[in-house]
Amino acid sequence: MSLATVSEQRAQGPAASRLSLVGPSVSLVVVSLVSNLLMLTGPLFMLQVYDRVLASRSVPTLVVLTGLIAGLFAFYAFLDALRSRMSARLANVLDGRISDRLFAAAVKFRLVANAPKTADPVRDGDVLRQFLASPAPMTLLDLPWVPVYLVVVFLFHVWLGWLAVAGSVVITLLMVINEAIARRPSQEANAEQQLRQRQSDDVRLNAETVIAMGMLDALRDRWLSQSSRMLQAQLRGGDRAAFFSSATKGLRFFLQSAVLALGAYLVIQGQMTPGLMIAASVVTARALAPVEQIVGQWRSFVSARQAWSRIRKVLEVKDAPMREVGLPLPSKSLSVRGFATGPQGVRAPVISGVTFELSAGEGLGILGPSGSGKSSLARGLVGVWPAVAGEVRFDGAMLAHFRPDQIGQMIGYLPQRVDLFDGTVAENIARFRPDATSDAIIAAAKAAGVHDLINSLPDGYNSSVGEQGDQLSAGQRQRIGLARALYGDPFLVLLDEPNSNLDAEGEAALTAAIQQVRERGGVVIVIAHRPSAIAAVDKVLFVQGGKQMAFGPKAEVLQKITQPGSNVHPIKVPGI
């Protein structure tokens, strides 16, 4: 898929999101109103046939009534198909209004420490859309007509009306009991299903490790165990739903026959005609049909309601308002004061007390033992994790003061785990921006020293990287990730262990790239264990135990942290 195609598809999104649900909803209600009125056609036809045609033996009357009924039923079929199509399109309109926010929430949930494992806003949106596009919502639109049909039965005879009301009350009680009993099993089944899907996704995305280390059998047993729990939960909910659905259906059939029997008695007593008896039986069945359908589809109703409850919580979280005045992109300094950060949802920061300042053209190396908080600090500096205390300022302005579209232009980030996305090399370097140009993509690749490597691939820049970049080696992924971080000449380039998978040629290209960023007036921060990664920086920050222990010129800090007797635990920095 080309970047132009992606641009065209994204251009359709905002237009869809601006569509209002009021117009389609009102139209759907009006069509349902006419459709339900036409459902009285059958009983009225039976009434006319039994009480007029058979009594008068008039064939012309029968022919006219048959032609009229054929036209009305054809119109009903048209309206029924129309409202199904309208329901499907209404579901798409709703999806267009909320899908972008659900997608963003799904991504952000991965950064929340205490987020439920089953939280998946995108899947909740799919459940809601599929429910709205199914026949189930039509039963809700038919439900308000139950009293209308019961009133018609009362018009036929008051005894028949009360019998129909009694049956409606019993079926409604069954529906309420079904709701109380089925709620918990449905929630458990949904949770178990989402956990099963997550396990499957994890194994599939780590297929190389699974096969190489012989983990397939163990993980398959684990997945089968989760599948068994899911199936048991679904069976519990399904069995209860099936019981109430069958009970409701049997009761409706009995009630229809009971109305017919009582009607026959009233005919014998001379209180009504045979036509009214048949019509009353049909109308009663029609009155209770929506209730029966709701009980039969109760699991889908419960799933959709639970999904909507979770979606509402996502939609209630208001996004930060778009700033009317866009600040100029930073070009002078990065200032960090008393900064502390940690995963969202965790009160205690992972790293704290960080203070330093870098000017344009400077490079900083962050050193420290494993688990000291280096990568945590990186996540906080680029805004992945929130600030618990202190502040990060670019040219005197806090990161939150810039528009979201500007942050991607001012920050380039290479995380410790390089994740590429299914697409071409060019798309990944360009961060999938629809306005990316070939010149900018090639410039970023050359800055990362990966242009020749990309040209050696089968399709060059159009080569597919595969899911998570699995068609490339670890070193190739890291170098393409570096090109992505350098794309657009961002002011701050933050590289977390950028040489962990590089050979000598790759490390030379990395050093040249860092030097080039500094020469053009950018700021580079490099987190490293290997000395070659900080060869092109002039300052070093040392962290230990989640605290900043030293900051200053590279030679001074390295001498301090490698000499015994300092106020930090001395470490060995090979090659320096």
pLDDT surpassing 70 at residue 118: no
Tell me which of 531 and 429 has the higher pLDDT. Answer: 429
Inter-residue contact 271 to 157 (CB < 8 Å): yes
Q: What is the pLDDT of residues 9-45, one digit of tens each?
A: 333 443 333 445 676 778 888 888 888 888 888 888 8
pLDDT surpassing 90 at residue 515: yes
Per-residue pLDDT, 534: 85
Per-residue pLDDT, 337: 93
Per-residue pLDDT, 319: 62
Residues 6+ apart with CB under 8 A from 35: 76, 79, 80, 83
How many Cα atoms occupy the beta-carbon half-sphere of 462 within 13 Å? 4
Per-residue pLDDT, 318: 65
Give the domains, in start order, of the chain with CATH numbers.
3-316 (1.20.1560.10), 333-562 (3.40.50.300)
What percent of the chain clears pLDDT 70, i.e. is strictly above it? 89
Per-residue pLDDT, 10: 38
Stretch (H or E) spanning 44? helix 41-48
Q: What is the pLDDT of residues 371-402, one digit of tens each?
A: 888 989 999 998 888 888 999 999 999 888 88
Q: What is the pLDDT of residues 69-78, one digit of tens each?
A: 889 889 988 9
Name which of 154-158, 323-327, 423-427, 445-449 the model is least confident about: 323-327
Mean pLDDT over 522-535 rounds to 83
Per-residue pLDDT, 336: 93
Per-residue pLDDT, 190: 77
pLDDT surpassing 80 at residue 261: yes
Mean pLDDT over 388-417 rounds to 88
Per-residue pLDDT, 14: 38
Name which of 112-126, 433-447, 479-493 the model is least confident about: 112-126
Q: What is the pLDDT of residues 189-235, one digit of tens each?
A: 777 887 888 888 777 767 766 776 677 888 888 888 888 888 888 78
| Closest listed residue to residue 553, CA positions, set 562, 542, 563, 544 | 542
Residues 6+ apart with CB under 8 A from 193: 230, 234
Per-residue pLDDT, 146: 84
pLDDT surpassing 70 at residue 5: no
Q: How far is CA 435 from each of CA 2, 191, 313, 439, rounded to the nearest angstrom?
A: 11, 40, 34, 12
pLDDT surpassing 90 at residue 494: yes
Per-residue pLDDT, 551: 92
pLDDT surpassing 80 at residue 576: no
What is the residue-averaged pLDDT of the chain? 82
Most confident of the ranges 180-189, 321-330, 531-540: 531-540
Inter-residue contact 541 to 380 (CB < 8 Å): no
Per-residue pLDDT, 565: 54
Give the strand pairing for 363-367 and 387-394: unpaired
Mean pLDDT over 177-181 rounds to 75
Q: What is the pLDDT of residues 55-99, one digit of tens each?
A: 888 888 889 888 998 898 899 889 888 888 888 888 888 888 888
Mean pLDDT over 352-375 rounds to 91
Q: Within a 10 A sphere around the Cβ of 466, how many other Cβ atoms?
A: 13
Per-residue pLDDT, 306: 80
Q: 3-class SS at 552?
A: strand
Banded pLDDT at 320 (limits 50, 70, 90): low
